[in-house]
């Protein structure tokens, strides 16, 4: 054995909590959004185990809304060779930036980018097997994974495919998904292209036929494509990401489940951040990032003939703020999110809450919080 | 087996094998760059050797100290693709979750040959 102990168990974790003021509701909230513990064990140079256990919103009480306890990852990692390994179990495929790198000290703003919550439903984990390789001769990483697919009966209006994730819990294995990513790093740039294609009907062929849905490994598919580029030069960091989602059989999904599934969605964001204390020689570990991010997305850019358009899902967000790192593992964050949406469609307003405030196209959020990882 | 390759990022690669937990690298492998990525084929991780002066060399194991994932040397810093840790070119943590610097290895220049001690 070289470079460390042959066998060991490690513990880590991350978490974040923040205060949020919502101008539309004229209301504030403070929440311990996530507390996550990592447990890993290295059996040998080749075999190791890695897991994350997450508690959302601090507690889960019987019958109350909110809160979640979930296994976010639990997989065996097997090194086939020095630069190639397999993950087998519940893991986060390489799609977008946040899904794999979601620790709160790796992104700006108290909230994860809206696009990587709503269009790419991070953190998106499923059961399967993946191969990851890093080339020696080129600064390139490749990954490919076969996973269980999605459940289109779980799709919900407004959250695209998020509700269709099984997240390792009694997932249908009748339908499958294939996902892959290519990362290329050169000098100050890092490029990534990733894709996902998976079936969304896990029923038996007989059940699927009765609902007029196509079953099988890639039946009634969801296809997602994503590309991003990151640039870092001394104090300046720029990130840009774009993604599209296609659900060609959305009409059949709506007929079966009446969940107003769109045929396509898209989104992109651009973020620039600058470390204001980068040039101070005394600041070896501390950094103070000023950042601004613009996000644009439409979660129902095309809808099937039996769908109902919702202009509120055509959104843009401007997020600006500061992230202060007293040490690299702790991020103190303050930001403002200015959100703009299209108008409400009266056809979608059923039994309105009489106490709800009037609809507004523009809402401001003020967020102050702390994130950490270890 | 000894091989010198050129990586796309213009950092030369040097393939070799260790002997008695020692990796030997000829100093002329640094003719083109002050950085060299050494690939000891019988060892789990690559090593980046940085030439600080004509006689002073610093060797860092390309293994993230957070979850043991191999790191890559990109744009003068080490990046881990697994959880996003970043280390500067001396191995110090710039971005967590890693907390410990990259492992460094005792490296000596003896008779125009670098001796990297893996112990």
Residues A340, A315: Cα–Cα separation, whole Å: 6
Contact B5 A134 (CB under 8 A): no
| Nearest CB to A2; choose among B8, B43, B46 | B43
Residues in CB range of A166: below 8 A, 6 or more apart: A126, A127, A148, A150, A151, A172
Contact B96 A101 (CB under 8 A): no
Contact A186 B9 (CB under 8 A): yes
Q: How far, in whole angstroms, is CA A13 from its chain's centroid? A: 18
| Nearest CB to A103; choose among B46, B83, B99 | B83
Is A223 part of a structural domain of the chain? Answer: yes
Q: Number of folded domains in chain B?
A: 1
Note whether B79 contacts A: Cβ–Cβ < 8 A.
yes
By C-alpha distance, which of A90, A105, A87 is closest to A54?
A: A90
Residues B34, A217: Cα–Cα separation, whole Å: 51
| Nearest CB to B75; choose among A136, A187, A329 | A187
CATH of the domain at A28: 2.40.160.10
Contact B72 A139 (CB under 8 A): yes
User: Which residues constitute the domain of residue A142?
Assistant: 8-373
By C-alpha distance, which of B81, B43, B74, B42 is closest to B61?
A: B43
What's the ipTM?
A: 0.73
Q: Number of folded domains in chain A?
A: 1
For residue range A302-339, list pLDDT tens digits in order. 999 999 999 999 999 999 999 999 988 899 999 999 99
Which chain B residue's Cα is nearest to A45? Answer: B44
pLDDT reported for residue B4: 52
CATH of the domain at B33: 2.102.10.10
CB A69 within 8 A of CB A167: no
pLDDT reported for residue A63: 63
What part of B 31-60 touches A (C-beta under 8 Å)?
Answer: 37, 39, 41, 43-46
Radius of gyration of chain A (CA): 21
A vs B: CB pairs below 8 A: 109
Is A1 part of a structural domain of the chain? Answer: no
- B31 CB-contact burial (10 Å; exposed 0-12 / middle 13-18 / buried 19+): exposed
CB A220 within 8 A of CB A205: no
By C-alpha distance, which of A178, A62, A53, A80 is closest to A128?
A: A178
Which residues of A fall within a CB distance of 8 Å from B92? 284
Is A333 part of a structural domain of the chain? Answer: yes
How many CB atoms are closer than 10 A to CB A157? 18
Is A2 part of a structural domain of the chain? Answer: no
User: Which residues constitute the domain of residue B58?
Assistant: 3-117
Alpha-carbon dihedral A62, A15, B70, A74, rounded to 10 degrees: -10
Q: Which token pair is A371?
A: 């994130």
For residue range B13-50, list pLDDT tens digits in order. 888 888 888 888 888 877 778 888 888 887 878 899 98
For residue range A264-281, list pLDDT tens digits in order. 999 999 999 999 998 776
Residues A338, A355: Cα–Cα separation, whole Å: 24
Contact B66 A12 (CB under 8 A): yes
For residue range A35-44, list pLDDT tens digits in order. 999 898 988 8
Which segments in chain A show pLDDT lower than 50? Answer: 1-2
Helix (H, G, I), strand (E, B) or coil at A217: coil
Is A80 part of a structural domain of the chain? Answer: yes
Which residues of A fall within a CB distance of 8 Å from B66? 12
Which chain B residue's Cα is nearest to A103? Answer: B83
CB B95 within 8 A of CB B81: no
Q: How many residues does chain A have?
A: 374
Note whether B99 contacts A: Cβ–Cβ < 8 A.
yes
CB B52 within 8 A of CB A112: no
Is A33 part of a structural domain of the chain? Answer: yes
Is A318 part of a structural domain of the chain? Answer: yes
For B1-119, list the strands marked E by DSSP. 3-6, 12-16, 22-26, 35-40, 47-51, 57-61, 71-74, 77-80, 86-87, 93-95, 104-105, 107-110, 113-117
Residues B82, A80: Cα–Cα separation, whole Å: 17
Q: Which phi and psi angles does B30 have, rounded to 5°? A: -100, 15
Residues A84, B44: Cα–Cα separation, whole Å: 11
Chain A residues with at least one Cβ partner in B under 8 Å = 2-4, 10, 12, 14, 38, 40, 42, 45, 48, 50, 79, 82-83, 100-101, 103, 105-106, 134, 136-141, 183, 185-190, 232-233, 284-285, 327-329, 373-374
By C-alpha distance, which of A53, A30, A113 is closest to A368?
A: A30
Q: Is the pLDDT of residue B7 over 70?
A: no
């Amino acid at each position: 054995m070289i470079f460390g102990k042959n066998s060991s168990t490690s513990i880590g974790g991350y978490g974040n909590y923040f205060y949020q003021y919502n101008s539309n509701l004229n209301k504030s909230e403070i929440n311990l959004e996530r507390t996550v513990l990592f447990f890993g064990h290295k059996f040998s140079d080749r075999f190791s185990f890695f897991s994350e256990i997450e508690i959302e919103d601090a507690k889960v009480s019987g019958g109350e809304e909110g809160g979640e306890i979930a296994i976010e990852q639990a997989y065996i990692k097997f090194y086939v060779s020095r630069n190639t390994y397999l993950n087998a179990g519940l893991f986060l495929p390489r799609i977008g930036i946040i899904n794999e790198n979601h620790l709160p000290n790796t992104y700006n703003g108290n909230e994860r980018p809206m696009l990587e919550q709503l269009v790419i439903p991070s953190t998106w984990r499923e059961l399967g097997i993946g191969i990851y390789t890093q080339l020696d001769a080129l600064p390139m990483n490749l990954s490919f994974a076969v996973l269980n697919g999605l459940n289109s009966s779980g799709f919900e209006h407004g959250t695209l495919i998020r509700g269709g994730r099984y997240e390792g819990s009694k997932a249908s294995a009748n339908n499958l998904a294939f996902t892959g990513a290519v990362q290329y790093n050169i000098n100050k740039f890092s490029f990534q292209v990733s894709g996902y294609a998976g079936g969304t009907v896990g029923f038996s062929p007989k059940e699927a036929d009765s609902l007029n849905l196509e079953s099988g490994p890639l039946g009634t598919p969801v296809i997602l494509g994503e590309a991003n580029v990151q640039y870092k030069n001394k104090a300046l960091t720029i990130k840009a990401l774009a993604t599209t989602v296609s659900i060609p059989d959305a009409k059949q999904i709506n007929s079966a489940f009446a969940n107003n599934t769109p045929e396509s969605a898209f989104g992109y964001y651009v973020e620039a951040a600058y470390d204001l204390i980068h040039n101070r020689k005394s600041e070896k570990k501390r950094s103070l990032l000023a950042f601004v991010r613009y996000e644009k997305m439409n979660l129902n850019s095309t809808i099937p003939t039996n769908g109902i358009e919702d202009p509120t899902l055509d959104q843009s967000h401007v997020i600006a703020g500061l992230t202060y790192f007293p040490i690299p593992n702790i991020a103190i964050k303050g930001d403002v999110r200015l959100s703009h949406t299209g108008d409400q469609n009266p056809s979608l307003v059923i039994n309105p809450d009489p106490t709800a405030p009037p609809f507004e196209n523009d809402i401001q959020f003020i967020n102050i919080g702390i994130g950490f990882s270890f | 087996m000894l091989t010198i390759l050129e990586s796309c990022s213009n950092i030369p690669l040097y393939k070799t094998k260790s002997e008695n937990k020692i990796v030997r690298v000829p100093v002329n492998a640094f003719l083109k760059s002050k950085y060299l990525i050494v690939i000891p084929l019988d060892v789990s991780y690559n090593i980046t050797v940085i030439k600080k002066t004509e006689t002073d060399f610093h060797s860092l194991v390309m293994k993230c100290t957070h979850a043991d994932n191999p790191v890559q040397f990109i744009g003068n810093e080490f990046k881990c693709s697994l959880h996003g840790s970043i280390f500067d070119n001396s191995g110090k943590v710039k971005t967590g979750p890693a907390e410990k610097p990259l492992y460094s290895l005792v490296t000596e220049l003896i008779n125009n040959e670098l001796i990297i001690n893996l112990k």
